[in-house]
Amino acid sequence: MVILVSLLGCSDDPAKAAPPTIAPVAVLDASPVRVVDERVYFSKGTSIGTRYEWDFGDDTSDEGPEVNHRFGAPGRYTVTLTALAEDGRSDTAYVTVAVVHLPLDPPPVVSGRLARDGARIFAALPDHDQVVIVEGEQVTARLAVCGGPRALSVAGGSLWVACRDDQLQRWSSQTLELELDLSLDWGSAPVAVLSGADGGAAFAGARGLVELDAAGTTLNTLDLADPGALAGTTETRWFSRFRSPDEGGVVSRVRDGAEADFLLVADPGPDSDTDARGLPNLLGALALRPDGRALAVGGTKANIERGLIRDGQAYTFETATRASLRLIDPDTGAALGRALFDNRDRVGALAFTPMGDQLIVVHHGAGVVDLLDPENLTRLGGFQDAGRGLDGVVSDGERVWVLASLDRELRVFSLSGANSEVELARISLADTEPLTAELLLGAQVFAGAADRRMSQDAYISCSSCHPDGGSDGRIWDFTDRGEGMRETQSLTAMPTNGPFHWSANFDEIQDFENAIRDHQAGSGFLDDAVYGEHQDPLGSSKAGLSVELDALTAWLASLPRPRSPFREADGRLTAAAERGRATFEAQLCGDCHGGVEYTDAGWNEDGSPILHDVGTLLPSSGQRAGGPLTGLRTPSLRGLFATSPYLHDGRAAELGTALREHGILLDVAAEADLVSFLLQIE
């Protein structure tokens, strides 16, 4: 196909030596995106001059009323036409041409909350147990799928759905009929799925990466830790590790049964109001560029080098955590670039346009969509106020569909035309609302980085360190907060009636108003005068003073407990865990970690919190609310399989180490059995 770029203009009589005139540039081809080494034709159109000079933006030029050019490398090129008159006067006009490598055929397959198959858009609604189908600006069908659908993938006429209730389903993307319904092993917890062209699939969950044929039979299984996202081609799959080791973020490639791991090192910073150091973490978004030559990896970056103990600097709201996006070579893992985001929280989803000329990045709590150059990750444009809980995005090159899960809406934006980057439609996805108004509000507050009451400049929300209520796996230096080195705890295993935090310095969830104001620079959810009267987190109660804080408290109490992947396939304890239970009781672990919650967290008769010093405190353990730290609140043992590292300062990478730090010394077999039991507590 030929591009004809016409630079239109008008003049009275060129013989009168009128000054050259050029109208605004018009690109007359339907697609301004061209392929490397493809011939592109340019014409002056009705522009007036006696001589025409062309600068193609790649250090080459030409002359004449009509020219053609081949661009030898991908990029965005500004082509300049200069029309000159005989007396030396000139006028100029410009047109931008995006040049890409030829996309793969078939295109890369992706996993996400949104999927596109021609004119159909598929959206997963986990709270509704539905996949909603949208065509045009209308909901045309609803699929009652497995419980908690959280990943979709479409290829070869198949729609695969992965659900948090340990189920996997295949639907026809054309007839919308259920073709295959698989019940997976207990605790499989699939978080991502990729459709294969032959009707098979690959899914990643707590039990590893599993490849299935069209009948649902397991072909291959690969052990992997804490998967975050999947992307792939017909021959190769890439997956990210959601929570990163301290050495760097991890992306793995699987090809012909062989695995290769790539390390994403920490951003060097420096810390400023527009950027900060940070370890790439919570890597829940992957997208393979359509040409297969670059892999985009999105999440957060955690500044684990900062703190009074670590480098002598206190955290600020700008220097703790913010968005992260890397571009790497999918064959070697070599770094190809990183995006610099200001006023952005966690990357919730990624997508390339079908030709690969733009990378679309949605930020989960900031409500912002960024359009980036796919080569150098510079910002080309974007959309503000795109909704709450952004966790899905697809594009056809002309439009962008963004899933605002916590608004229960699909937002549609324009990418083309003179007035691009405008909102075209908002499509309501929910027919009913399964959550109470209070619980839905609580979920919105939890993720609401864009809410100035939650944080200044949209860097941080509760979700930034507690994705889906879990843990980011990081150890933070909170010495400046009157504490010390602290490992992030999962919110799915909190004591029912407090106290909260390792040092029991909060007595109710509403006290997070203090953290919001003090550490996130949010304006808070309480009136300033009311906050002044209730500022002491161990003083008078904040409950009932803010609808939002009460809703947040209710939502956190509603979080489901995850299933342990270390149990038997049917959910029973293994034989080793049963032996470990007996050891647990014999070692009197239940004296502190007892009851159905596996913790004695609570209050003494005098109103003080129940604290214990089991010998794990160090000088780096810091203080409690600015005073002496005499002990720690007993953490629940529920969900230990998903909360490494262990101990209040995260110094125990393994549970066996944590046991020995507690003074529990066992032979190798007994320790292994006890660890097995601990990993199976739900």
Express each pLDDT in 3-24 by its tens digit: 334 433 323 344 345 677 764 4
Residue 409, pLDDT > 90, answer yes
Residue 106: is the preceding peptide bond cis (ω within 30°)? Answer: yes
Q: Which of 483, 495, 488, 477 is nearest to 610 (CA)?
A: 495
Residue 362, pLDDT > 90, answer yes
Predicted pLDDT at 411: 98
Residue 28, pLDDT > 50, answer no
Q: How confident is the model at residue 300 (pLDDT cuts 50, 70, 90)?
A: very high
pLDDT digits (tens, 9 = 90+) for 632-670: 999 999 999 999 999 999 999 999 999 999 999 999 999
Residue labelled with tokens 């190769």: 236
Six token digits for residue 81: 């036409």
221 bridge partner residues: 210
Give the strands of the sheet with 90-100, arranged side by side.
Answer: 33-35, 90-100, 75-84, 51-55, 61-63
Classify burial at 661, counting beta carbons within 10 Å of its beta carbon; exposed 0-12, middle 13-18, buried 19 or more. Answer: middle
With H, G, I as helix, E, B as strand and everything else as coil, classify residue 539: coil
Q: Please determine, looking at this structure, whether the domain spanning 439-557 carries the CATH number 1.20.120.
A: no
pLDDT digits (tens, 9 = 90+) for 305-351: 999 999 999 999 999 999 999 999 999 999 999 999 999 999 999 99
Q: Residues near 528 by Cβ (< 8 Å), separated by ≥ 6? A: none
Residue 415, phi then psi, degrees to nearest 5 = -110, -10
- The reply to whether 103-223 shares the fold of 4-100 is no
Predicted pLDDT at 25: 40
Q: How confident is the model at residue 418 (pLDDT cuts 50, 70, 90)?
A: low
Q: Residues near 419 by Cβ (< 8 Å), separated by ≥ 6? A: none
Average pLDDT estimate for 269-295? 97
With H, G, I as helix, E, B as strand and everything else as coil, classify residue 480: helix
Evaluate the CA torsion angle 633, 634, 637, 641 in order and state its sign: positive
Predicted pLDDT at 597: 94
Residue 111, pLDDT > 70, answer yes
Predicted pLDDT at 49: 87
514-534 burial by CB neighbour count: b if 16+ within 10 A, else e? bbbbebbbbbbbbeeeebeeb
Predicted pLDDT at 31: 57
Residue 254, pLDDT > 90, answer yes
CB-CB contact of 192 with 162 (8 Å): yes
CATH code of the domain made up of 575-679: 1.10.760.10
Integer-rounded Cα radius of gyration of the chain: 28
Predicted pLDDT at 15: 39
> Alpha carbon of 253 to those of 231, 240, 291, 328, 400: distances in Å?
10, 9, 17, 12, 28
Predicted pLDDT at 8: 32
pLDDT digits (tens, 9 = 90+) for 114-167: 999 999 999 999 999 999 999 999 999 999 999 999 999 999 999 999 999 999
How would you classify the pairing of strands 347-352 and 359-363? antiparallel
CA–CA separation, 405 vs 152, rounded Å? 14
Predicted pLDDT at 46: 79
Tell me the fold of 103-223. Methylamine Dehydrogenase; Chain H (2.130.10)
Average pLDDT estimate for 596-619? 96
pLDDT digits (tens, 9 = 90+) for 372-381: 999 999 999 9
With H, G, I as helix, E, B as strand and everything else as coil, classify residue 288: strand
Average pLDDT estimate for 424-451? 98
Domain borders along the chain are 4-100, 103-223, 439-557, 575-679
Predicted pLDDT at 47: 82
Q: Please determine, looking at this structure, whether the domain spanning 4-100 carries the CATH number 2.60.40.10.
A: yes
Identity at 454, one-letter amino acid code: M
Predicted pLDDT at 476: 98
More confident residue, 42 or 129: 129
Six token digits for residue 219: 């072909």
CB-CB contact of 286 with 295 (8 Å): yes
> Alpha carbon of 149 to those of 192, 461, 497, 531, 666: distances in Å?
10, 24, 31, 40, 42
Mean pLDDT of the chain: 93
Six token digits for residue 464: 């930034």
Average pLDDT estimate for 592-617? 96
Evaluate the CA torsion angle 173, 177, 180, 181 in order and state its sign: positive
Average pLDDT estimate for 50-79? 94
Q: How confident is the model at residue 87 (pLDDT cuts 50, 70, 90)?
A: confident
pLDDT digits (tens, 9 = 90+) for 226-237: 999 999 998 999
Predicted pLDDT at 10: 27
CA–CA separation, 442 vs 446, rounded Å? 6
